[in-house]
Structure 1
Amino acid sequence: MTEHRSPLPDVALRDVSITERLFEGLTQAGDRVVLTDGPSGEGWTGDALIDRICRLAGGLQARGIGPGSVIALMAPNMPDYAVVFHAVAMAGATITTINPTYTAPEVGHQLRDSGATVLVTIEAFLPVALAALEGSAVAEVVTMAPSPGHRSIADLMGQPLAAQVPVDLDGHVLVLPYSSGTTGLPKGVMLSHRNMVVNVDQALPLLDVRAGETTVAFLPFFHIYGMNVLMNAFLARGAGLVTMPRFDLEALLGHIQRHRVEKLYIAPPVAIALAKHPLVDQFDLSSLKIIMSAAAPLGPEVAGAVGQRLGCAVIQGYGMTELSPLTHVVPHRAPKSGAVGVSAPNTITRIVDAETGLDCAPGEPGEVWVKGPQVMIGYHNRPEATAAMITDGWLRTGDLGVVDADGYLFIRDRLKELIKVKGFQVAPAEVEAELLGLPGVADAAVIGVPDDEAGERPLAFVVRQPGSDATAQSILEALRPRLASYKLPLRVEFIEAVPKSASGKILRRMLRDKLAGG
């Protein structure tokens, strides 16, 4: 067995919760602003943030929320996102983070599947939130700020909770984000306190985050990248975050200039803007030293263009929700073009022949398998999917890669069917299921196609029912209320039949070949 280990020493597996780990950094930054609301400029010190988390945790506990409870959080990036997240964690409950761009059916699926009993959101999202409640166990919708007819988190504040409610650090489900894994519909990923804490400690030596520095957090906190690499890791180091509720290039550039940001964490579509948009030249970005891109592959041409334009190092990281998320980062002091990194501390990488389960020869691409303490507990209520994903502790990523002689991982392709749109996962099966529910659609298949801005976009192949007058436009309009915007197909192509194997599996390669052949 050929194992590729980290060049960095292992980190200790510490018996603390994620909130206790966070408080270590916040205590060091007691009188320093660590969270700033980008739109308003209002800031919270480390001490103020600890106080607010403890008071909300105490209020939650007084209302019977603790181990066994699931709280859903659907909100944009804002300082109180961290407050709600860590108050729930401190009270010993489970938090499931929901993409705020989801439609009501998508939110409803996550609420029902997770078993959430409370949904926390903002006033602007109330129409979608209330429409999603049918069939769920949600008894109350709470708002971040006061809103007529709803209690706010201020109403839930109580006596400060003095200490973390005891939980099994390895077995208790702390957070339940949803991911499609290597294929299929979104599934709840069960991550423990141990998973999240150790991944923070694994990330910090590679990211080289320093106490007192500040970055801009526009990567969404509901997504594992923004959640653990930004929100948790930075605050646990006593570093600062400026939150942005949505990506806006001009606002981002202004924050970089104003706060003298040295390290910026992005996804590939932002790299394209930094490489090409004329606005960039209107701001002083000379403070930037390192830009790390993750969530989807970044082409070396774009990375090189950004680095040259801004005069900084552009590196990549790699991971997935099921890995808390980080497993590889390119050391900024030893960058290598095209690589996604070396193994993080405590992390072992193998390159495996997906058919035989045997290790590939040196330099030969194969499926990337990863083992480490950041590997998820499993999928919520999906033991078969868990067993298919994890083999003897090794998580099968579904990505095709190769490790060079220096231990750097390069991703060559994907074995899995997932489409990555601006770093977000789109499961073809989910879009196909919605297509098949539309009048006039007899069969459907979805593939990903390259897109300069988003990396990839879904493209739908549809077989009309006999006599149907469905058009591409009518199909897309019918999908719009059912799917988040990034899941919507770029276009619809009509075909006579969807190519399938004898077992009924869609032969997506044939569809790609058909597209390439015009």
Structure 2
Amino acid sequence: MSDSSADASVIRSPHPDVEIPDVSLYDFLFAPLAGADLDRVAVVDGPSGEQTTYRALRDQVDAIAGAFAARGLGVGDVVALHSPNVPAFVSVFHGLLRAGVTVTTVNALATGAEVGKQLRASGARALVTVSPLLAAAEAGADAAGIGPHDVVVLDGADGHPSLGELLAGGHPAPDVAFDPATHLAVLPYSSGTTGLPKGVMLTHRNLVANVLQTEAYIPLTPDDVIPAVLPFFHIYGMTVLMNGAVYQRSTLVTLPRFDLAEYLRVVEQHRSTVLFVAPPIALALAKHPAAAQRDLSSVRILMSGAAPFDEHLAGAVAARLPGARVMQGYGMSEMSPVSHVIPVDRTDVSSGSVGMLVPNMTAKIVDPATGAPVPLPAEGVSAPGELLCAGPNVMVGYLADEASTRDTLEPDGYLHTGDIVTVDADGAFFVVDRLKELIKHKGYQVAPAELEALLLTHPEIADAAVIGVPDPESGEVPKAFVVRADGSALTADDVQSFVAEQVAPYKKVRAVEFVDAVPKSAAGKILRKELRQR
């Protein structure tokens, strides 16, 4: 796995490099579309069953590109896409990119204040949303100075243009030119290894590369049917489900939210073959009695990502899906997102492993205290250390945040993941701990710093710290350690209600402990390790 001809500490993918074409994401996915593939079903609306062929999808993408170009949007502009998984998400996302626009995807659960923050931070000129999310969208747009004319409601709403109205103009797709290696395709927001959410700058080349890197280990086919419940606004859903499926002409069945009964119905009725999930969905498949009552025999692959997936849970899922290969992968928004996957044909790799480096990637494991490389094992498993990764899928940096970019990206292109890993002699990686503070709740990222800043606005809270604590259903839940102000009789319910009123549901504080003081270093940094040990 190591490269003895250069740096012996560098770990390489066991898979040969794949060729990455120098093209836009649109040209990569849609330009080769021809023949029988045109009439294949690209997207099915899960609730209604309505189908969109690849021919219709491409036509929609081109028409949407023309519509937004006619509104004066193109290369250099950012547009926010704020929607759950519906078929129109696929066409609007790719239509905006076809027009040269950079898309910042907004969590469908975001509050108005959170939408506004992202719109301002990303410099978005317009917002595309759906009517069920309009209240938060309008509040966010208003806070960011975006007028009603620039808030497009896909399914229509009074006072806003609808997608139908935009397309009625019949404008042709524009001719655009940009360098795929440098032009930003998307700006998802991530907390990285620490701190507040930051705009992750991902180019067209980053996204094209990661589709090809992932496909090397999880080869999809035109016959595959994939329930799309992991959100497209999240980089996992965007790259692995949406773009990966379109690249291989598979069929996506969109689900706007996770409801176990509806998910199981889709898997059974559509004879779904590949399930991309986060651990809470895997847990439901393994443990819920409803899953045992459905015919899931069509499933050939279950792939878990976005949060830790232990070997015991993997075994329980495999028992429920005896015909399926159960595996997991690893990544982060800053890597578009996939860096590691268990190859589908490597049944010798432990299901507790996050897999092997995907093609075109290298990694190092370093002592987090000294930066010294951790020796690679000739046999057995290495000592633990922080994982650093480099490859064509690694972000350009964080938008307008040079300090965080410098802290995360080394001059030689290696990205600090903030995760502590080991690697075995075969090149299989295992995540054993993490340096970073990020809380992973049902696959969603929760930044402790964001919740701490909010808690400190409460007049009866003198100080606060937030950590993630293990939860069997959600992975982790946010727990707040709160120092009451003098004379306060604040209760845990008061704290939880205060936070819940101002954040998306997945960011809610689920546990509160009152303390006399928050442990901090001499530099004033919260000592989360001490809080975890409590």
Normalised to the residue count of structure 2, the TM-score between the two structures is: 0.94
Give the CA deviation at 1:24. Answer: 4.5
Aligned position for 2:17: 10
Aligned position for 2:357: 343
- Count of residues in correspondence between the two structures: 514
* Contact 1:24-1:236 within 8 A present in 2 as well: no
Aligned position for 2:406: 387
Q: 2:200 & 2:400 partners in 1: Cα distance? A: 10
Deviates more, 1:347-356 or 1:443-452: 347-356
Q: 1:175 to 1:266 in 2, by over 3 A?
A: same
Q: Which amino acid aligns with 1:141?
A: V
Give the CA deviation at 1:137. Answer: 4.0
Tell me the C-alpha RMSD between the 2 structures. Answer: 1.3
Give the CA deviation at 1:26. Answer: 4.5
Q: Which amino acid aligns with 2:23?
A: V
Q: 1:8 & 1:229 partners in 2: Cα distance? A: 19
Q: Deviations over 1:193-244 (max 9, x none)?
A: 0000011111112111012321100000000000010001111111110000
User: Structure 2 stretches of 5 or more lacking a match?
Assistant: 1-6, 377-381
Q: Which amino acid aligns with 2:334?
A: E
Q: 1:260 & 1:488 partners in 2: Cα distance? A: 36
Q: Which amino acid aligns with 1:357?
A: G
Give yes or no for the alignment of 1:490 onto 2:510.
yes
Aligned position for 1:474: 494
Q: 1:135 & 1:125 partners in 2: Cα distance? A: 16
Q: 2:202 & 2:213 partners in 1: Cα distance? A: 16
* Contact 2:274-2:300 within 8 A present in 1 as well: yes
Give the CA deviation at 1:355. Answer: 2.5
Q: Which amino acid aligns with 2:38?
A: G
Q: Deviations over 1:158-201 (max 9, x none)?
A: 44545662112111111000000000000000000000001111
Give the CA deviation at 1:486. Answer: 1.2
User: Structure 1 stretches of 5 or more lacking a match?
Assistant: none
Give the CA deviation at 1:133. Answer: 2.5
Aligned position for 1:358: 372
Q: 2:21 & 2:172 partners in 1: Cα distance? A: 22
Q: Which amino acid aligns with 2:74?
A: G
Q: 1:259 & 1:268 partners in 2: Cα distance? A: 22
Q: Which amino acid aligns with 1:327?
A: S
* Contact 2:307-2:443 within 8 A present in 1 as well: yes
Select which of 454, 457, 460 maps to 2:477. 457
Give yes or no for the alignment of 1:273 onto 2:292.
no
Q: 1:190 & 1:27 partners in 2: Cα distance? A: 32
Identity of aligned residues (%): 50
Aligned position for 2:61: 53
Give the CA deviation at 1:138. Answer: 2.0
Q: Map 1:368-383; keep pairs closer than 5 Å.
A: 368-383=387-402
Aligned position for 1:245: 256
Give the CA deviation at 1:280. Answer: 0.8
Q: Map 1:135-150; keep pairs closer than 5 Å.
A: 135-139=143-147, 140-150=150-160
Give the CA deviation at 1:257. Answer: 1.3
Give yes or no for the alignment of 1:302 onto 2:313.
yes
Kindly report structure 1 stretches of 4+ aligned residues shifted beyond 4 Å.
none
Q: 2:319 & 2:213 partners in 1: Cα distance? A: 29
Give the CA deviation at 1:319. Answer: 0.5
Question: Secondary structure at the residue paired with 2:63?
Answer: helix
Select which of 133, 141, 155 maps to 1:133. 141
Normalised to the residue count of structure 1, the TM-score between the two structures is: 0.97
Q: Which amino acid aligns with 1:100?
A: A
Give the CA deviation at 1:428. Answer: 0.8
Give the CA deviation at 1:403. Answer: 1.2
Give the CA deviation at 1:307. Answer: 0.2
Q: Map 1:45-124; keep pairs closer than 5 Å.
A: 45-124=53-132
Q: Which amino acid aligns with 2:335?
A: L
Q: Deviations over 1:277-329 (max 9, x none)?
A: 00012211111121000001101101001101210221001110000001110
Q: 2:19 & 2:175 partners in 1: Cα distance? A: 20
Deviates more, 1:132-141 or 1:476-485: 132-141
Q: Map 1:416-435; keep pairs closer than 5 Å.
A: 416-435=436-455
